[in-house]
């Protein structure tokens, strides 16, 4: 039986910023103009990919993968072009679920035209409504 899924807000338990691992491909031919915008006629564009890893215990009920999240003490290691590949692979471990929290949010987050703070308000996952306080 497939997992019953619902949109959720997942963040650091102390509401600190979570840094996800990404790789970027930027052209080296000068085709990017000011503010890194793509210039017409250039042969390549800047692209970015989010690196994923296995889901931790908190995220596993939502999906089997999650973004790879970097611990602050590993920032310099990740950014150093001389870091050995085996060291980098170790950074791809799932972020500890004990340092995260999650709650269901409205399915309105699935539509890009929606952009408001109400999108992160906790809702009842079963009904898709804001939980009753009484």
Contact 51, 21 (CB under 8 A): yes
- Report residue 96's pLDDT band, with 50, 70 and 90 as the boundaries: very high
> What tokens does 127 get?
């009904």
Spatial separation of the C-alpha atoms in residues 95 and 72, rounded to whole Å = 12
Residue 131 pLDDT greater than 80, yes or no? no
Q: What Å distances lie between residue 67 and 42, 55, 91, 92, 114, CA to CA?
A: 31, 8, 12, 9, 23
Question: pLDDT averaged over the chain?
Answer: 81
Residue 86 pLDDT greater than 60, yes or no? yes
What pLDDT does residue 133 have?
A: 42
pLDDT tens digit string along 15-62?
888 888 888 776 655 555 444 555 555 556 677 889 999 999 999 988
> Can you tell me the mean pLDDT for 56-81?
93
What structural domains and CATH numbers belong to the chain? 8-18+51-120 (3.90.1680.10)
What pLDDT does residue 17 have?
A: 86
Q: What Å distances lie between residue 103 and 11, 36, 113, 132, CA to CA?
A: 9, 36, 22, 15
Contact 77, 116 (CB under 8 A): no
């Amino acid at each position: 039986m497939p997992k019953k899924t619902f949109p959720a807000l997942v963040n650091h338990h102390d509401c600190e910023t979570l840094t996800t691992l990404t790789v970027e491909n930027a052209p080296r031919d000068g085709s990017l103009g000011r503010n890194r915008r793509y210039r017409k006629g250039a042969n390549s564009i800047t692209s970015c990919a989010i690196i994923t890893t296995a889901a931790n215990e908190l995220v596993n009920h939502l999906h089997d993968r999650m973004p790879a999240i970097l611990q602050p003490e590993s920032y310099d290691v990740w950014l150093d072009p001389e870091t050995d590949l085996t060291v980098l692979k170790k950074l791809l471990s799932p972020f500890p679920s004990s340092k995260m929290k999650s709650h269901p949010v409205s399915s309105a987050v699935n539509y890009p035209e929606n952009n408001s703070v109400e999108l992160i308000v906790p809702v009842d996952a079963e009904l898709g409504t804001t939980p009753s306080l009484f």
